[in-house]
Amino acid sequence: MAKKSVWSDNRFWQRSAAWVTGFASILLIWLTFDTSVQIAMGTDADLQNGVTKRVPGPTVINYKITYEMSTARGHEVPVIGEKELFFGRDDYSEEEAGALLHLGKLGSQTKNCMNCHTLLGNGAYYAPDLTKAWLDPAWGPEGSMQAMTGKETKEEAMAEFLQHPSTYPTHARMMPNLGITAEEAKGLVAFLKHMSSIDTNGFPRNFGKIKGAVHGK
């Protein structure tokens, strides 16, 4: 039998495959440790001390959130500002805010939001992306969505819409009634507000440009 070249030797390629796979897996696991630390949820103390976290703690709902261009990073980032009332309060404790976020996150899954909407850009494409929905000018004081529900504040308008979506059509394509209760709606709005405070590396770009929401104004 002729001398075999290493390049046509199955054992060589088998070993190569094992090494490449092992190396890639170890790198992924190592990066996972680093990323896990960076995306762990912050605390109330972080918010009070102005410590910037990629995913702030649940008490971020006590604060005003804007989406502003960062010249250093070259894209928009969420900025947590002064205190802001949320359903009439700005003093939710870590437990209270955490419970609201928990309810909202559970609701986002059990109501199957992701099979029409995208969250952080992932999901279905039948309805608008919800990543920065809290910052959508349409829900603001001058916005059409808030006016449509006849509510005084953004959070009440969103909660009203969530409970009776087909009463407030915005397009021929409507959101169906999902049996969302008043408490669940409150949780969902807290979840949306919290999600808008997550640092998504500038996604979506130029959010709210039409109504001048760029730079959070």
130-149 positions binding another protein, by CB under 8 A: 131-133, 136-138, 144-145
Would you say 65 or 213 has its CB closer to another protein? 213
Nearer to another protein, 129 or 156 (CB): 129
Of the candidates 1, 2, 3, 8, which one interacts with another protein according to CB under 8 A?
8
Residue 109 contacts another protein per CB under 8 A: yes
20 binds another protein (CB under 8 A): yes
Does 40 interact with another protein (rule: CB under 8 A)?
yes
**What is the token pair recorded at 6?**
């290493």
62 interacts with another protein by CB under 8 A:
no
- The answer to whether the CB of 175 falls within 8 A of the CB of 166 is yes
Interacting residues of 123 by C-beta distance below 8 A, sequence separation 6+: 113, 114, 115, 116, 117
Residue of 48, 93, 167, 181 interacting with another protein (CB under 8 A): 181
Q: Where would I find the beta strands (DSSP E) of 88-190?
A: 118-119, 122-123
Would you give the DSSP letter of residue 66?
E
Q: Is 116 in the site for another protein (CB under 8 A)?
A: yes
Q: Considering the rule CB under 8 A, would residue 31 count as an interface residue with another protein? A: yes
- Terminal C-alpha separation, the chain: 78
The dihedral built from the CA positions of residue 190, 217, 151 and 84, taken in this order, carries a sign that is positive
53: its two tokens: 């976290």
Choose the stretch contacting another protein; rule: CB under 8 A; options: 24-32, 44-52, 87-95, 152-160: 24-32
User: Quick check: 71 binds another protein (CB under 8 A)?
Assistant: no
